[in-house]
Structure 1
Amino acid sequence: MSNVEAQPDQVVCRAGGLPGPQCDERGRSPVEIIPSRDVPLGGPRAMTVRRTLPQRQRSLIGPWCFVDHYGPNDVSGSAGMDVAPHPHTGLQTVSWLFEGAVQHIDSGGHAGLVLPGEVNLMTAGRGICHSEVSTEDTSNLHGVQLWLALPDHTRHQEAREFEHFAPEVTSFDGGEFLVFLGQLWGSASPVSTHSPLLGAEIRLDPGASVDLPVDETFEHGVLVDAGDITLENVPLPVNSIGYTGVGLKEMRISNRADTTARVVLLGGEPFPEQIVMWWNFVGRTHEEISRFRQEWQDEGDRFGEVEGYVGQGGPGSNAEGLGRLPAPRLPDVTIKARRNPPPQVQGGPESS
């Protein structure tokens, strides 16, 4: 799934104006809570997703610049996910499912089935397009769609890359985890990335707690999918991200529920570049974004073509009859770079 909003909001991110950081009384690290907002994708048959990044409060966590969380959605009586070919620039898409299955086809000549517990990573470079359709036998769709901003030295690469990896489950006292990108607690993913980062699913038993050793040069965010979670002893609402900033060597995650909990841990070195992000494009200037949009509308060579897309409307079209998604109209003002706050918990006296 990608950003298929017909009228995407422009979000200019700036520091300040946040509530004070939350912390407990036992000397743990402070935590910044990033709430989600509901975003309908597409037309009247659209899925609704919960978006935590980007927003005014914080734009990136490491190179992670986009976090959508969806489901569990019963799609047995609907079109499910049916996203016609659409473009990307300057990013990597990371698809991670908990339930369901999605067929991916891209203009790099790659086709793959996204399955629970198996990561699919697509590198756009200077330009790619792809389609995503949930399979006919999918009754529940549940997962996350994530984007990574590419650094300037690789965002213009010609290669349209696709990687697939099914990580092994690593157990610990009180739960288990799967590392789909980067490395954590002795487990590592072989999938190629262009910045130091981490992506992992963590499952906690009822009443369990874990002190995870983490890289102190990374900033981290914990997205809550299920459970009664505390991060550094601070309660996190379901569907929110708890952010800890850099400098943390050990992260305490606890599940106070009487059912199994699940979180997604995202981390990385602070991204040093300012990005301009609009619709499905990541660039550096308004002029770049405008050029990308026009090239997509003109069906230029930058993005290539998806061959073999079959949507709910039959071969070559989705449920609305579209064979490719048209780009929305650009806003009437200059799209500005996303100025991310410093990589520390924001809102208290130390951040002013």
Structure 2
Amino acid sequence: MSNLDTAPVPTRCGGAHGPGPVRELHPGKEVPLGESTVVRRLLPNLGRRTVGAWCFVDHYGPDDITDEPGMQVPPHPHMGLQTVSWLHAGEVLHRDSLGSLQTVRPRELGLMTSGHAIAHSEESPRTHSSVLHGAQLWVALPGGRRHGPAAFEHHTDLPVVTGGGGLRATVILGTLDGATSPGTVHTPLTGADVALAAGTDARLPLEEDFEYAALSMAGSCTVDGVPLGPGAMLYLGTGRRELPVRADTDAAFMLLGGTPFEERLVMWWNFVGRSHEEIAQARADWNDGTRFGEVRGYDGPRLTAPALPPTVLRPRGRTR
């Protein structure tokens, strides 16, 4: 997953305790991704940069790509983060500089840990489904792991939590209600895809010291009394032991959470770092063709890192 903005603004995040229970509704900002995909960017947004260690959230589709190439994101670099690919419909072909080649399908977890440096591409296969719908997310790596080795994981068997009244939650990352994903995490975290059948009126158990957000994926539902339509994100804060959810028709949302990320970060383009100098070095290394390796097999040129902003990038807190 790449931020394709040719003039990306510096995004500084991390470093504050949770605010207690809140209800902040954030609409998505439409951003072009690759040749033919438009995404709704939910995080970072004008008021908030992180939810736990989750630091970047894009929702896309459902898009009819019957006669389109679909997702086409050329090779690009990452450092200091994990990327999470999650689909409701379609397929994404992942290639990376480790030599990984994997098609990720609906309800399968594609998890890439960049560590110090990795490069990857993402594309809809030449023969692909007619509909593309999903989310791409980043998780900031803590100081003790961000300089470590890169890795890629693909998990097809994920645990499921069920609740009375038609709730079914697939645990993507971390732990929810005692069920733990096989995906590797480096901070206390929750990521779940929650499906609600028509008529659902249920409560999800939460961790009181986690902060949470709900990203509506499909249909219309009510989360903690707030109506959510597709592509909107509701930030819920901390201090909750359960989350009431209701749906009159079939619906789905992603539950994202974790302990408030205490480290102060600088996020620019496709890098998560701690200082201007670190970001500038990563940019130079990518454009020079060093450090991040080569993605083999993608039909097209790789991305070039844009120019740095004229101001010094400084680490800041997790809210604006």
Q: Taking structure 1 as the reference length, what is the TM-score of the superposition?
A: 0.84
Q: Partners of 2:128 and 2:234 in 1: how far apart?
A: 34
Q: Partners of 1:13 and 1:152 in 2: how far apart?
A: 14
Q: Within 5 Å, which residues of 2 pair with 1:62-101? A: 62-101=52-91
On the 8 A contact 1:175/1:208 being kept in 2, the answer is: yes
Match of residue 147, structure 1, among 127, 138, 146: 138
On the 8 A contact 2:142/2:186 being kept in 1, the answer is: yes
Q: Partners of 1:280 and 1:10 in 2: how far apart?
A: 11
Determine whether 1:122 maps to 2:112: yes
The aligned residue for residue 256 of structure 2 is: 266
Task: Show CA shifts across 1:63-90 (max 9, x none).
Answer: 0000000001111212211111100000
Determine whether 1:281 maps to 2:268: no
Q: Taking structure 2 as the reference length, what is the TM-score of the superposition?
A: 0.93
On the 8 A contact 1:30/1:232 being kept in 2, the answer is: no
On the 8 A contact 1:2/1:145 being kept in 2, the answer is: no
Give the partner amino acid of 1:35.
P
Unaligned runs of 5+ in 1: 16-20, 22-28, 310-315, 318-322, 343-352
The aligned residue for residue 100 of structure 2 is: 110
2:283 aligns to what SS in structure 1? helix
Determine whether 1:189 maps to 2:167: no
Q: Bigger radius of gyration, 1 or 2? A: 1
- Quote how far apart the aligned CAs of 1:341 are: 3.4
Give the partner amino acid of 2:172.
F
Change (3 A) 1:119 1:14: closer
Determine whether 1:202 maps to 2:210: no
Determine whether 1:57 maps to 2:47: yes
Q: Within 5 Å, which residues of 2 pair with 1:295-310? A: 295-300=285-290, 302-309=291-298
Q: Which runs of 4+ in 1 moved over 4 A?
A: 11-15
Which of 261-270 and 233-242 deviates more?
Answer: 233-242
Q: Partners of 1:46 and 1:282 in 2: how far apart?
A: 26
Determine whether 1:336 maps to 2:319: no
Match of residue 36, structure 1, among 28, 34, 58: 28
- Quote how far apart the aligned CAs of 1:56 are: 2.5
- Quote how far apart the aligned CAs of 1:327 are: 0.7
The aligned residue for residue 250 of structure 1 is: 242
Greater relative contact order, per chain length (Cα 8 Å cut-off, separation 6+): 2
1:182 aligns to what SS in structure 2? strand
Give the partner amino acid of 1:2.
S
Compare the two structures and name the one with the higher strand fraction. Answer: 2
Give the partner amino acid of 1:234.
V
Give the partner amino acid of 2:2.
S
Task: Show CA shifts across 1:157-185 (max 9, x none).
Answer: 1x221111121444332221100111112
> RMSD across aligned C-alpha pairs, in angstroms?
1.9
Change (3 A) 1:134 1:155: same
Unaligned runs of 5+ in 2: none
Matched pairs, number: 313
Q: Partners of 1:75 and 1:338 in 2: how far apart?
A: 40
